[in-house]
Amino acid sequence: MGKEFAKEWTPGELMAVAGAHLIKDGDIVICGIGLPEVATLLAIYTHAPRAKILMEQGVVEPKPVQFRRGVSMGLADPREWFRAKCFTDYIDIMGTTLQRGLVDIGMIGGLEVDKYGNVNSTLIGSYNKPLRYFTGSGGANDIASLAKKVVVIMRPHELRRFPERVAFITSPGFISGKGERERVGLRGGGSWRVITDLAVLGFDEETCQMKLLAINPKVTVEEVQARTGFKLIIPEKVELMSPPTIEEQKIIREILDREGLYTGWKQAAKGS
């Protein structure tokens, strides 16, 4: 019997599903709150029950839920720690676990990402003439440097967020091409996937430049390229991103993102 897909879905739900499908059973995943967390927990609730979620502040395998009093607002919110198997610290997660090479997937966000998968979450403008500062790295630099695979989840997909070179490298991808990570001593595998509201992108093995893998079923390859500030590598066959199944959407809307804060489903329902 085939899967039953939801008839209507939001770009946020599409992104969460795309992220979840990258996680295999048994994977160790470091992620923050927002869509990365929704994607990781969705994988655990569906096809990867033995995957383990770690949070950089030291929370191991929590099962955060959205209570009636609203959603959690940060990693320090106790609602994020609900039913965790262990409470430890930054040293255990970012040091002992991540630096030993035990983390299979790290999920991070950002302001900008360039053709080599470098991520900027520090500033707009330039290093010498910044127009505005943002939150910066947190643990994202460590994750991008040391995780076996790095998934960047960001939206909206638009020209200013996909420049040829980011204004500032907060978290390294392939820096300037093949072999650069090894040259500077980074042990992790580097940027593996970029998930946006328009597409899923990967990286060419020879050049380490961004490659289009799949698109939102509601857009075209040409639209994705037009909203990207550099030339993408486009294979002959580009897949379609998988919409949420009825089961996946039910889990998102009834358990993981009841208020639609991250996936936008509640706002979309009000507007329809």
Q: Where in the sequence numbering do the catalytic residues fall? A: 56
3-state secondary structure 16-29: HHHHHCCCCCCCEE
Please say whether the beta carbons of 159 and 112 come within 8 A: no
With a CB cutoff of 8 Å and minimum separation 6, the contacts of 182 are none
Q: Give the span between the Cα atoms of 90 and 209, in whole angstroms.
A: 32
Please say whether the beta carbons of 117 and 124 come within 8 A: no
Please say whether the beta carbons of 156 and 190 come within 8 A: no
Using alpha carbons, list the distances in angstroms from residue 199 to 219, 224, 242.
9, 7, 11
Please say whether the beta carbons of 138 and 89 come within 8 A: no
